[in-house]
Structure 1
């Protein structure tokens, strides 16, 4: 019993820390690997002639190069889960580096502090993409190394982190929020560790310079390939502050979905510990051997760093005209969690060296969410397979539909398609937000079963629902009707009934 107890308080070597993170990162993604569900964009990427490309025009040139290198081709055939396993290995190494950067003599409790960079609940949506997920994870790896790497020469200290920042942005632009958030944490750490005033100011200057130079390198390397419609910012002539307020409110509305039931109590406890840690950090600032003016300025910057990290939950995405409120854009939430963990560790370690092990509780909550989400993905996979086979049977068994020039599939969104996960959605509302699938079927799926004449209704949107329902359908079932007019068919989705509460 004594040896087991000592394991949680003894200093760990680099190999032991790496093995801990290797196990922790792998355990978190096991549900996604077992589900093996092609998530939204994965369908058209795997079927496109270029097999998964088109990242360069999205400003993610390095993602395209990553898959070109990994598949030894000019395209990107689906090789899941190999990219995710590679990303998990890289993340384990990066988290090891970050742990030793924060704590030169780490214990198991110290290893828990940076783990939310991987155990971010909203990051589950990023990792759901079999193509994009690993590249998004590698962008976080690049950001972490941009923080921890310490080249020997001064010019390399400028260039190497900046190139890593540019690499991260070229893999997934939103990871820049993670870099800025970790820079804020560096500023807080410097203040807590009583870094000398000139060194502390130099640290801030270095981080600003690295961020600027990283963006500059990205601007001359990957950005020129980007489609211009993806880079439009808010309309500054039409009340931009109001637009920002609306965007922030939408993000807050989604984040609140996480704090339901037991999760609310767990994170309330974490927040209380973090507040105690913030007080401890403030006392360390007051105890510095500095002038009053310097201490006040340090305190002010530390106080401002907290709302900045909070704002970086969505960060740069808030300023784009085509605002995306999807969970995959909330990568900055991971840094907010790391900040709460860091401050909580400060408070708990002050009381007793083993108390920081309580940070396992929120981590276990996030791990359980990962497995609940994996089960929802499995249910969604079964539902999607059933829907695909139903459509394939109905079209293939009708010669006129099979030989139609084109069949338009109407786009009908609803929260009630996936009835099999109703209980999970009720207990964990964030699961529905993470899944982000509110449609019956994607037209891109049908070529998998040999049906190639179905396309999603775009310019003809809702024409089927308005103009053709006066005709008798050639097919009607629980979820849709299929109409045929001459050489053209129309698949009209039925609005599913709300899911009733289950009583036993």
Structure 2
């Protein structure tokens, strides 16, 4: 056992750290690769063979995401080549984490590297990585944000320009990654305090980061931003109590985060928080040892304390202030830095007690890895359900000539928590998986062309019209999950509300 633990505390070279991160990051995405499940937006992108993304990504202000796929596919479109884009992004992330490790620790060990692994082992980041098209670009965006922190060069010009271009690249891949950069800037405050950096250098560092951020935003504004649809940039209405709306949005974020703290995960994170509190006391004692005036020590301590609410806000961060607030877990990229904050403080106190104690950080990491594999199994169950539903609905339409020849078949919007019976027990034990999956519908119209059905569309402009007015007519098709009506040349698919699951024993 002693020799085994020695492996985790011996000093490693850059290549060895990179191999560790490459193995660890690939292990986290392995369940998603094995599931190979087209997630939400992937379906209509697959339908267009990726051609639509050439226009849609730039309209979202994500010009560099489109360029990434153009480069990988050697084309002007984005045909599906999953998992290659994700594997490439994983290799880049391993390199970025290696760079950040040597930025934080002079002589890193694997136990030191555990501190930074939550940047990838973020439970909410699983939803980002679920997108076979968007996921790799989001991962690259985080990598660019990390490199913007770690880049160092003797030339002041390059030290200013390169991080700024990296920030612009991160924004052009996925704007929410700005939360990661800002969170890592907060971590720079803690790192400088723990390393007893002089006050003058401390202020200079913050000034450099602010200048790089402003320049990076300017570069993004003249490169990718002009292509963005202006409806996506609308902020909260400042004449309609925006602070109230912001707090409402924060409450919704907290509700989703609390889904993670369930059962054993709650105890694991409670222990992590307790260790972090002890680590903050340790950091406070280090700040008190600074060879600075009492006022400067107080300011350093105050800024360190203020990083806590800032990091909590940055869980969703900039998304809080947009009029069309998206509470999807894919926007919780800042939660990764909050985890790094807890890991970093815990590492400070654990290593001060014994050099092997930081290995306790493996426990929350294993919990998050376990969550990844559980999520992968849920994706597999969802894939089986979708495949069965697709062939069933496709057969019912193809076997009726009138439905095959209908001008359009409208599919109603019906959402429920009870479609996926096969994963109900897992959802009960790990509630966050239900929100991660975010598939509360029976079928997407974009799936039907896979079985040759091309005349089915979602009923948007006539939302829910199929749920009233036609119920007195006999359905042409009666299924366990839906009814299909035919009126003239138009069909209507009305889904039945599934009954709550009562027969399973938990």
Q: TM-score range by the shorter chain?
A: over 0.9
- Residue number among 479, 501, 504 corresponding to 1:502 in the alignment: 504
- Residue in 2 aligned with 1:412? 414
TM-score of the pair, normalised by structure 2: 0.98
Residue pairs, 1:342-357, within 5 angstroms: 342-357=344-359
In structure 1, stretches of 5+ residues that fail to align are none
- Residue in 1 aligned with 2:98? 96
- Residue in 2 aligned with 1:28? 28
- Residue in 2 aligned with 1:428? 430
Shift of 1:501: 5.6
- Residue in 1 aligned with 2:377? 375
- Residue in 2 aligned with 1:393? 395
- Residue in 2 aligned with 1:52? 53
- Residue in 2 aligned with 1:452? 454
Q: 1:72 to 1:344 in 2, by over 3 A?
A: same
Shift of 1:498: 1.1
Alpha-carbon distance in structure 1 between the residues aligned to 2:449 and 2:341: 46
Alpha-carbon distance in structure 2 between the residues aligned to 1:279 and 1:206: 28
- Residue in 1 aligned with 2:472? 470
- Residue number among 152, 155, 163 corresponding to 1:153 in the alignment: 155
Residue pairs, 1:163-178, within 5 angstroms: 163-178=165-180
Shift of 1:152: 2.5
Alpha-carbon distance in structure 2 between the residues aligned to 1:40 and 1:463: 24
Shift of 1:191: 1.2
Alpha-carbon distance in structure 2 between the residues aligned to 1:260 and 1:142: 33
1:358-387 deviations in whole A, cap 9, x for unaligned? 000000000000000000000000000011
TM-score of the pair, normalised by structure 1: 0.99
1:415-448 deviations in whole A, cap 9, x for unaligned? 1111110000000000001001111100011111
Alpha-carbon distance in structure 2 between the residues aligned to 1:99 and 1:500: 49
Retained in 2: the 8 A contact 1:127–1:137? yes
- Residue in 2 aligned with 1:224? 226
Q: Secondary structure at the match of 1:34?
A: helix
Q: Secondary structure at the match of 1:360?
A: helix
> Segments of 4+ in structure 1 off by > 3 A?
none
2:295 is equivalent to residue 293 of structure 1 = yes
Q: Secondary structure at the match of 1:359?
A: helix
- Residue in 2 aligned with 1:39? 39
Retained in 1: the 8 A contact 2:119–2:336? yes
Shift of 1:208: 1.0
Q: Secondary structure at the match of 2:484?
A: strand
Alpha-carbon distance in structure 1 between the residues aligned to 2:162 and 2:362: 34
Q: Secondary structure at the match of 2:146?
A: helix
Alpha-carbon distance in structure 2 between the residues aligned to 1:41 and 1:334: 24
- Residue in 2 aligned with 1:483? 485
1:116-141 deviations in whole A, cap 9, x for unaligned? 00000000000000000000000001
Residue pairs, 1:56-205, within 5 angstroms: 56-205=58-207
Q: Secondary structure at the match of 2:9?
A: coil
1:393-419 deviations in whole A, cap 9, x for unaligned? 000000000000000000111111111
In structure 2, stretches of 5+ residues that fail to align are none
Retained in 1: the 8 A contact 2:5–2:356? no
- Residue in 2 aligned with 1:4? 4
Retained in 2: the 8 A contact 1:51–1:77? no
CA RMSD of aligned residues (A): 1.0
Alpha-carbon distance in structure 2 between the residues aligned to 1:448 and 1:40: 15
Shift of 1:14: 0.9
Residue pairs, 1:222-371, within 5 angstroms: 222-371=224-373
Q: Secondary structure at the match of 2:132?
A: coil
Shift of 1:287: 1.2
Alpha-carbon distance in structure 2 between the residues aligned to 1:305 and 1:147: 17
1:186-207 deviations in whole A, cap 9, x for unaligned? 0111111110010000011111
- Residue in 2 aligned with 1:437? 439
Q: Alignment length, in residue pairs?
A: 504
Shift of 1:320: 0.5
Shift of 1:216: 1.1
Shift of 1:151: 2.1
- Residue in 1 aligned with 2:404? 402
Shift of 1:3: 3.5
Shift of 1:15: 1.1
Q: 1:423 to 1:241 in 2, by over 3 A?
A: same
Q: Secondary structure at the match of 2:341?
A: helix
Retained in 2: the 8 A contact 1:52–1:77? no
Shift of 1:276: 0.5
Shift of 1:72: 0.4
Retained in 2: the 8 A contact 1:52–1:131? no
Retained in 2: the 8 A contact 1:409–1:457? yes
Q: Secondary structure at the match of 1:411?
A: coil
Alpha-carbon distance in structure 2 between the residues aligned to 1:94 and 1:147: 10
Alpha-carbon distance in structure 2 between the residues aligned to 1:2 and 1:112: 19
Shift of 1:29: 0.5
Retained in 2: the 8 A contact 1:59–1:170? yes
Shift of 1:221: 0.5
- Residue in 1 aligned with 2:17? 17
1:224-278 deviations in whole A, cap 9, x for unaligned? 0000111110011111011001100000000000000000000000000000111
Alpha-carbon distance in structure 2 between the residues aligned to 1:18 and 1:29: 17
